[in-house]
Chain A
Amino acid sequence: MGTYDYQTYDVIKPRELDGQRSDAPVVIVGAGPIGLAAAIDLALQGIKTIVVDDNNVVSVGSRAICWAKRSLEIFDRLGVGQRMLEKGVTWQLGRVHVGDEQVYTFDLLPEAGHQYPAFINLQQYYVEQYLIERCADFPDLIEIRFKNKVVAVRNQPDQVELDLETPFGDYTLNAQWLIACDGAKSFVRDALGLQFKGQVFDEQFLIADIKMEADFPSERWFWFMPTFHPGQSALLHKQPDNIYRIDLQLGADADVALEKQPERVIPRIKKVVGERPFELDWVSVYQFRCAKLDRFVHDRVVFAGDSAHVVSPFGARGGNGGIHDIDNLGWKLARVVRGEADTSLMETYNQERVYGSEENIRNSTWTTQYMSPETSVATLFRDAVLDLAKTRAFARRMVNAGRLSVPCVLEEFALQTPSPAISTVRTGQVCPDAPLSLNGRPQWLLPMLGGAFKLLCVGCEIRVNGLESIVIGDGGYEDATGKAVKDYGQGVYLIRPDQHVAAQWTAPTESDILSALARAGGEQC
């Protein structure tokens, strides 16, 4: 099938079957983008992991294709961001149509002063391949065990034990922590008997990836009720390798098995792309739900990605939301494993990411209700918005064909030190990037933040033992375009390892900084 050359990865006999033991403190279940990102993030913190997966190929089908700026920044920290950017398709323009009429366009040109664009499209199989290859840079820290299937989980207060089946035989693995990244149908979640609560939507959608040599622009085209697909919605966007993703709403009563047949799919696609020649690369029919676990941490088992929360695909909050989980989790789990913080730091992962996933579910539920209204009054208002959008700018912003994923602001949570904002950058938000330079050499701000706690000093210089200071102005990096000062003003920011602002001051004392650091590092939570 298809354009991508699916490699199978070597399946190696686990050393446990030779009577040896493993000393990795963390086991990750699932070698998808979220599990692999977790392994790399922990490796960057010096923490050993074993990743187990019941399969030995990357994702079959393009699946998650839309990667938002914040995810790209996280992938950059993990060492694959540039590779993804080079291969991916950077969007330029979104076009929204009602019927066959274009109602408005929105611009997704790269935001000035940011290293990464708003979004790229890149098939999940490439992301997984790049992450697997990146894992190979840490041979002493990451061990991926393909075709190792978890069949039992025993979650205990101070450790976790898993039974696994492999082609070589069965064995048991012990670890201090387990991260369940085993997807929407998570075995680990079921094994722990946890409820996955939420709303199922009846609406069914067809996804088709087609290969087409036609030179369509790198745009996202969305239609409400086009004449080629009456009464439903349609979406077209471009991926690398001349692959185009087409999403067609099918309604609640469509027959899944029938709709997947090429003889049904091809005529529908011809209505979208006209007489341009194409071949089918991948077809899937899906229904979705918006659901989440009540808690993402259960004793020694931590849930991240689709095992913890699932959303509708509109707004690209699935894969991106999972990567945000790992960004939040990696440094915290590393501190706990190293004994620098107690397990209460893990509770802050639970709180911050439950909050983030609720935001994602809320947004994606609203989009779904807008796109497939379930009552006549919802249809009435939806159609009124679409009609007004043709002539009224205010209504254009109300058209909801997916609110694109943005990182959440963690201001209200325990790790952040409440303090009046000294600029437009709020405590708890992700640091905005800025172009800097040092001795004439360009340097982005964000890659210098992250990985460890850092002090960002703008227009001043403050040094505290054991904490790296990044100084802009005042003899440090030059603010190449003035964006850093414009965003950050003048002052001092304590930045978490996941690049969120933990505290900010105009003129802090050393003890202000040390107490904010202790708080953000989980020593007082």
Chain B
Amino acid sequence: MLNLDYNFADQHDQLYNELLLLHDGLDADQSQALNARLILILMNHIGDADVLREAFKAAQL
């Protein structure tokens, strides 16, 4: 089951900042590419198809 409760162990500000630092110096296309790579890496880590489909749904605009 997809966890939509808070799960950052109080490190959310730090990690959010590190995420933005990854994009430092990148242009818009490069940022897009980085985000895509990151999503794929995290998808592979999660692995579970049901969880991923729930996440797809939760992310829909």
A20 at interface (Cβ–Cβ under 8 A)? no
* Total A-B contacts with CB atoms under 8 angstroms apart: 43
The segment out of A31-39, A211-219, A374-382, A469-477 that lies at the interface is: A374-382
A363 at interface (Cβ–Cβ under 8 A)? yes
A382 to chain B, nearest CB (A): 9
A375, B5: Cβ atoms under 8 Å?
no
B13, A377: Cβ atoms under 8 Å?
no
Question: Which secondary structure dominates where chain A touches chain B?
Answer: helix
B18 to chain A, nearest CB (A): 10
A378 to chain B, nearest CB (A): 5
Question: Which secondary structure dominates where chain B touches chain A?
Answer: helix
Contacts of B20 in A (CB 8 A): 369, 375, 377-378, 381
Cβ-defined partner of A398 (8 Å) among B4, B16, B23, B31: B16
* A interface residues, tally (CB under 8 Å): 17
Question: Given A376-B28, A377-B31, A392-B4, are A397 and B12 neighbors across the interface (CB < 8 Å)?
Answer: yes
A355 to chain B, nearest CB (A): 16
A397, B16: Cβ atoms under 8 Å?
no
A381, B19: Cβ atoms under 8 Å?
yes
**Assembled-state Cα–Cα distance A115/B24 (Å):** 45
**Assembled-state Cα–Cα distance A377/B21 (Å):** 10
B1-29 vs A, CB cutoff 8 Å, 1 = contact: the mask equals 00011111000111011011001001010
Contacts of B8 in A (CB 8 A): 394, 397-398
B16, A381: Cβ atoms under 8 Å?
yes
**Assembled-state Cα–Cα distance A375/B17 (Å):** 13
B6, A397: Cβ atoms under 8 Å?
yes
- Centre residue among B17, B19, B20, B58 by max chain A CB count within 10 A: B20
**Assembled-state Cα–Cα distance A397/B13 (Å):** 9
A400 at interface (Cβ–Cβ under 8 A)? yes
Contacts of A400 in B (CB 8 A): 13, 16
**Assembled-state Cα–Cα distance A400/B20 (Å):** 14
B36 to chain A, nearest CB (A): 13
Closest to A396 in B: B6
**Assembled-state Cα–Cα distance A473/B8 (Å):** 38
B4, A366: Cβ atoms under 8 Å?
no
A315 to chain B, nearest CB (A): 11
Question: Given A375-B23, A377-B23, A377-B31, are A394 and B17 neighbors across the interface (CB < 8 Å)?
Answer: no
Closest to A367 in B: B13
A20 to chain B, nearest CB (A): 55
A257 at interface (Cβ–Cβ under 8 A)? no
A403 at interface (Cβ–Cβ under 8 A)? yes
Contacts of A403 in B (CB 8 A): 13
A393 at interface (Cβ–Cβ under 8 A)? yes
**Assembled-state Cα–Cα distance A377/B35 (Å):** 10
Cβ-defined partner of B5 (8 Å) among A377, A378, A393, A398: A393
A364-376 vs B, CB cutoff 8 Å, 1 = contact: the mask equals 0010011000011
**Assembled-state Cα–Cα distance A394/B58 (Å):** 13
B19 to chain A, nearest CB (A): 7
**Assembled-state Cα–Cα distance A207/B30 (Å):** 39
Question: Given A394-B4, A394-B6, are A369 and B17 neighbors across the interface (CB < 8 Å)?
Answer: yes
**Assembled-state Cα–Cα distance A398/B6 (Å):** 9
Q: 11 A–B contact pairs at CB < 8 A?
A: A363-B13, A376-B28, A376-B31, A377-B20, A377-B23, A377-B26, A377-B28, A381-B16, A385-B16, A392-B4, A397-B12
List of 7 A-B pairs having minimum Cβ-Cβ separation, nearest first: A394-B6, A377-B23, A377-B31, A366-B13, A398-B12, A397-B6, A366-B17
Using a CB–CB distance below 8 Å, which chain B residues touch chain A? 4-8, 12-14, 16-17, 19-20, 23, 26, 28, 31, 58
Q: Other than the known A369-B17, A392-B58, A400-B13, what 13 A-B pairs have Cβ atoms closer than 8 Å?
A: A366-B13, A366-B16, A366-B17, A377-B26, A377-B31, A381-B19, A393-B4, A393-B5, A394-B5, A394-B7, A394-B8, A397-B6, A397-B12
